Amino acid sequence: MSQQLQLEYLDAVLCMMDLPSITPFSGPKTRFDDFQALHIALTYGIHWVGQFLHFHRGFLHFYEKTLREECGYSGAQPYWSWSLDYSFTNSPIFDPVYGFGGNGAYIANWTGFFGNSTPTNSGGGCIQDGPFVNYNLSVGPGTSVTSHCIVRNFNSNFAYLGNSTQVANTTKQPNFEAFRQESGGAFKPPPFKIHDSGHGMISGEMGNVFSSPGDPLFYLHHANLDRVWAIWQDMDLEARLTDISGYTSVWEPFINVTLDYQLNYSTLGPLTPIRDVMYTRGTTLCYEYI
Ligand SMILES: [Cu+2]
């Protein structure tokens, strides 16, 4: 990705942070907040369920569409390949000018959002540099509605989850049920899986299952998870464009998800049947990973 396009992407995100909210949720002030608010509202219906990967694929699609159609971005949604960043704190994605800024300020004994801190606490405060240093989120952390800065707490204990061994172990799974268990993880980890890599490495807002889309890096992390799924699908495309399993909810009654299951994006996108997001190079979506 050229430096010019990197700046264009960051500018488009700043533009979304300037456009007024269009969702019915209480709290969000901007189009950027809207995506976070939708994710918070739906948390238990989009994680640890059969439609976890599908919902997030569509979620990224509508986010990218907003960047392109309302904020003039001419490129594609970038992804963060964790495997390239085993020494992740040196990653160029944290560059203060061409990236998303670095760690949060160090706060001794930071207890985390919902106590998700670890002994390797390195930050816990507001991000210190980068384009989003002055942005105030209007929803989160978690399900609360507060005005707060973007918080990070780099945690290298999670870096191994995104390494090439972990990714290869995920893409070698024989069917969707095994793939989704290996990529998304369980309702109550550990064991942690590749989906936990970026969330755990950056932590802070990103470590919160509800409000993680408050950190713009969420979208690069999830694009890579989506990429791993697309790579896995491409290994046996015909079978894997229809292979789906899992329940639609984390609570009873347990119903098996199907290709007809409708993904709900509130006012950020139309009701989207799962079959429409199974194929990245189809008519609803039209992208591929390079
Ligand atoms: Cu999510």
pLDDT in tens, the chain (290 residues): 999 999 999 999 999 999 999 999 999 999 999 999 999 999 999 999 999 999 999 999 999 999 999 999 999 999 999 999 878 889 999 999 999 999 999 988 787 765 555 556 789 999 999 999 999 999 999 999 999 999 999 998 899 999 999 999 999 999 999 999 999 866 777 789 999 999 999 999 999 999 999 999 999 999 999 999 999 999 999 999 999 999 999 999 999 999 999 999 999 999 999 999 999 999 899 999 99
* Structure-token pair, residue 148: 């707060």
* Structure-token pair, residue 166: 């972990």
Q: Are 240 and 259 in contact (CB under 8 A)?
A: no
Q: Is residue 267 part of a domain?
A: yes
Distance (Å) from CA 189 to ligand 1 centroid: 15
Distance (Å) from CA 222 to ligand 1 centroid: 8
Q: Is residue 290 part of a domain?
A: no
* Structure-token pair, residue 96: 């203060």
Distance (Å) from CA 52 to ligand 1 centroid: 8
Q: Is residue 40 part of a domain?
A: yes
Q: Is residue 75 part of a domain?
A: yes
CA distance 45 to 62: 18
Helical packing angle, 52-71 and 218-234, nearest 10°: 120
Distance (Å) from CA 36 to ligand 1 centroid: 9
CATH code for the domain of 144: 1.10.1280.10
Distance (Å) from CA 211 to ligand 1 centroid: 8
Distance (Å) from CA 98 to ligand 1 centroid: 25
Q: Name the phi and psi angles at 136, rounded to 5.
A: -105, 120
Distance (Å) from CA 42 to ligand 1 centroid: 9
Q: Is residue 288 part of a domain?
A: no
Distance (Å) from CA 267 to ligand 1 centroid: 18
Q: Are 142 and 112 in contact (CB under 8 A)?
A: no
Length of the chain (residues): 290
Distance (Å) from CA 265 to ligand 1 centroid: 13
Q: Domain range holding 61?
A: 3-277
pLDDT at residue number 116: 54
Q: Are 34 and 21 in contact (CB under 8 A)?
A: yes
Give the count of domains, the chain. Answer: 1
Handedness of CA 91, 93, 99, 101 (dihedral sign): negative
Distance (Å) from CA 184 to ligand 1 centroid: 10
Q: Is residue 286 part of a domain?
A: no
pLDDT at residue number 86: 75
**Whether pTM exceeds 0.85:** yes
Distance (Å) from CA 46 to ligand 1 centroid: 7
Q: Which residue has the tokens 């760690």?
A: 103
Distance (Å) from CA 61 to ligand 1 centroid: 14
Distance (Å) from CA 40 to ligand 1 centroid: 9
User: Residues with Cβ < 8 Å from 107, sequence gap 6 or more?
Assistant: 121, 123, 124, 125
Residue 259, exposed/middle/buried by CB under 10 A (0-12, 13-18, 19+)?
middle
Q: Which residue has the tokens 């799974």?
A: 173
Q: Is residue 289 part of a domain?
A: no
Q: Is residue 21 part of a domain?
A: yes
